Amino acid sequence: MDQFVLNWIFIGASFALYIGIAIWARAGSTSEFYAAGRGVHPVLNGMATGADWMSAASFISMAGLIAFVGYDNSTFLMGWTGGYVLLALMLAPYLRKFGKFTVPEFIGDRFYSPTARLVAVICLIVASITYVIGQMTGVGVAFGRFLEVSNTTGLLIGAAVVFAYAVFGGMKGVTYTQVAQYVVLITAYTIPAIFISLELTGNPIPGLGLFGTEVSSGEPLLMKLDQLVTELGFAEYTTRNSDTLNMVLFTLSLMIGTAGLPHVIMRFFTVPTVAAARWSAGWALVFIALLYLTAPAVGAMARLNITNQFWPDGPQGEAVSVETIANDPDYNWMATWQKTGLLGWEDLNGDGKIQYYNDKSPDMQARAEANGWVGNELTKFDRDILVLANPEIANLPGWVIGLVAAGGLAAALSTAAGLLLAISSAVSHDLMKGQLTPNMSEANELLSARVAMAVAIAVATYLGLNPPGFAAQTVALAFGIAAASIFPALMMGIFSKRVNNTGAVAGMLVGLIVTVVYIFLHKGWFFIPGTNSYTDAAPLLFGIKSTSFGVIGAILNFATAILVSNATEEPPAEIQELVESVRIPRGAGAAAADH
């Protein structure tokens, strides 16, 4: 069957499933719209959290980031999973016991301060909007590549589907579609990985195959890969080439940022009990780990396959010829991806062969001179194509490619829906009901939540169609804000009875402002090129890169809040009682019944 038809079948079937769930799971009350009626089973919530969390970045980009860098980019693996330990041990059970609907609501109530709530709303909206742009452009690109429609049409179809289940179903609709999307995305991610691992190592579990023996050479796969890349002048794959300080700080920043992202935290409001929230965090990480344990294998094996394709006789032999690339079906993927502009090669020295090597390595420059090479002829290899092109590179059947297309879309759509829900609840519950029109009836709040959702989808679609030039860099901003403002406020709200309204607001503002300014000083003010005073190659403070700065912002937040609180009055007795009640699981059912 034609590949194009297969792609339509897989994507069409998965979308029909999401629409079916949307019709079934409509929200009838604000409790259903914001928290799925708090009736979600912990295992299902774990799956939904997995889909909510694993975005286009995890599904499409992460394996590519690891493949072309190796050990150093393990930071993403450790950081994006280690955050769940913080979330499970320090936030999720307590926020579930608190039993309200949004993250800013907890901050506002605990610090008895509408200002604190407003600061939290602003942080939430900025972090979530920067994050959602990437998801929407991802949807457009995936549609464009696999369905051969324009990116705009693809994006509009995706937005319409999200509209169907998020506007009518709220958290309830989003939860059950995310469960379905998790199943689609994990199947799509692991099936090609299993095929490739079997082919290369004979081991069906990619995470084990990565540390196994490569069948064709009889050598350990990682040793083979290290040999291959170093012979072409690239850095060794399995050892460290970056500095220790930034590796530690970047990993910590990703961990704290992950634990502070509101769209993930709010998923734990949907389970029935505190005990369920604890188990559910574990299940979430199980489902996330299935992809995160597989991704490093996907990266290493793809790097090996790609390098072997360019050097079919080994790195000391002849490079692949232009003719082979044009005619051999094994190389069809290259022509397909060249059309997208994300892959490029050019026979610079006109010898009819494509030499792929590191032209910045002195050893390779000597060899290049001896052989008449004038530079690396694989001129463009966008890291984002690795996962999507992987099944084609490994020559897997057409239905696997269709499945991967549906998986990539599921990852982007599920995360977009979670973010949009966080934004719309903050607008309708924290801004409208909380501050502007406190006397709004339940029916009106439900209506305003749906309107806020529709507007958020429209804004996200517009930004997806006209992405600001800085879209790719803003993920650092989202994690920086979550780490420096939201996580410390939540943690101190639970673990300290002494931190008061003034301290919390001062801490959040200091953490937020210092972090954002540090990022702007290195990346340009509002990411406008040329307006930066420093670069991440030569950063302002102690060699700390702006992407690793979130943890520093968090420390400043903690320090400011504690110092200011100790210099000002103790929180009132009823707030101290609130903290005590949040710390004790008994009564979580009653808290839910208030709504």
- Where does this chain bind another protein (CB under 8 A)? 66, 71, 74, 77-78, 81-82, 84-86, 88-90, 93, 207, 210-211, 222, 238-240, 244, 247-248, 251-252, 273-275, 278-279, 281-282, 285-286, 289, 292-293, 296, 580, 583-589
Query: Based on CB atoms, which residue is closest to another protein, 88 or 420?
Result: 88
SS (H, E, C) 97-131: HHCCCCHHHHHHHHCCCHHHHHHHHHHHHHHHHHH
Contacts of 89 (CB under 8 A, 6+ apart): none
Query: Based on CB atoms, which residue is closest to another protein, 285 or 505?
Result: 285
Give the number of residues written for the chain.
595
Pairing mode, strands 343-344 and 380-381: antiparallel
Residue 184 near residue 11, CB atoms below 8 Å: no
In the complex, least distance from residue 89 CB atom to another protein, rounded to whole angstroms = 5
Nearest Cα to Cα of residue 11 among 157, 194, 138, 136: 157
In the complex, least distance from residue 558 CB atom to another protein, rounded to whole angstroms = 15
Query: Based on CB atoms, which residue is closest to another protein, 238 or 327?
Result: 238
Query: Based on CB atoms, which residue is closest to another protein, 64 or 170?
Result: 64
In the complex, least distance from residue 397 CB atom to another protein, rounded to whole angstroms = 28
User: What burial class does residue 80 get, using C-beta atoms within 10 Å of its C-beta: 0-12 exposed, 13-18 middle, 19+ buried?
Assistant: buried
In the complex, least distance from residue 48 CB atom to another protein, rounded to whole angstroms = 17
Query: Based on CB atoms, which residue is closest to another protein, 138 or 488?
Result: 488
Give the SS3 label for residue 498. coil
Q: Where are the alpha helices (DSSP H) in 219-378?
A: 221-231, 244-259, 262-265, 274-292, 295-310, 322-327, 332-338, 362-371
Query: Based on CB atoms, which residue is closest to another protein, 281 or 410?
Result: 281
Query: Based on CB atoms, which residue is closest to another protein, 184 or 491?
Result: 491
End-to-end CA distance of the chain: 53
Query: Based on CB atoms, which residue is closest to another protein, 286 or 528?
Result: 286
Residue 346 near residue 322, CB atoms below 8 Å: no
Query: Based on CB atoms, which residue is closest to another protein, 36 or 281?
Result: 281
Residue 406 near residue 188, CB atoms below 8 Å: yes
Residue 181 near residue 193, CB atoms below 8 Å: no
In the complex, least distance from residue 106 CB atom to another protein, rounded to whole angstroms = 19
Angle at CA 152, nearest 5°, toward 15 and 136?
Answer: 65
What's the CA dihedral at 233, 473, 392, 147 to 10 degrees? -160
In the complex, least distance from residue 410 CB atom to another protein, rounded to whole angstroms = 22
In the complex, least distance from residue 39 CB atom to another protein, rounded to whole angstroms = 15
Angle at CA 541, nearest 5°, toward 536 and 545?
Answer: 30
In the complex, least distance from residue 200 CB atom to another protein, rounded to whole angstroms = 17
Query: Based on CB atoms, which residue is closest to another protein, 95 or 423?
Result: 95
Query: Based on CB atoms, which residue is closest to another protein, 530 or 586?
Result: 586
Residue 331 near residue 309, CB atoms below 8 Å: yes
Tokens encoding 42: 């912990």
In the complex, least distance from residue 76 CB atom to another protein, rounded to whole angstroms = 10
Residue 97 near residue 586, CB atoms below 8 Å: no
In the complex, least distance from residue 53 CB atom to another protein, rounded to whole angstroms = 14
In DSSP notation, 39-62 reads: ---HHHHHHHHHHHH--HIIIIIH
In the complex, least distance from residue 310 CB atom to another protein, rounded to whole angstroms = 24
Q: Up-side HSE of residue 345: CA atoms within 13 Å toward CB?
A: 24
Query: Based on CB atoms, which residue is closest to another protein, 71 or 534?
Result: 71
Residue 201 near residue 221, CB atoms below 8 Å: yes
Nearest Cα to Cα of residue 98 among 594, 437, 499: 594
Query: Based on CB atoms, which residue is closest to another protein, 147 or 386?
Result: 386
User: How far, in Å, CA of 35 to CA of 563, rounded?
Assistant: 35
**Longest CA pairwise span in the chain (Å):** 81
In the complex, least distance from residue 246 CB atom to another protein, rounded to whole angstroms = 11
In the complex, least distance from residue 44 CB atom to another protein, rounded to whole angstroms = 16
In the complex, least distance from residue 289 CB atom to another protein, rounded to whole angstroms = 5
User: How far, in Å, CA of 116 to CA of 506, rounded?
Assistant: 9
Query: Based on CB atoms, which residue is closest to another protein, 194 or 222?
Result: 222
Tokens encoding 328: 């051999």
Tokens encoding 468: 């600001």
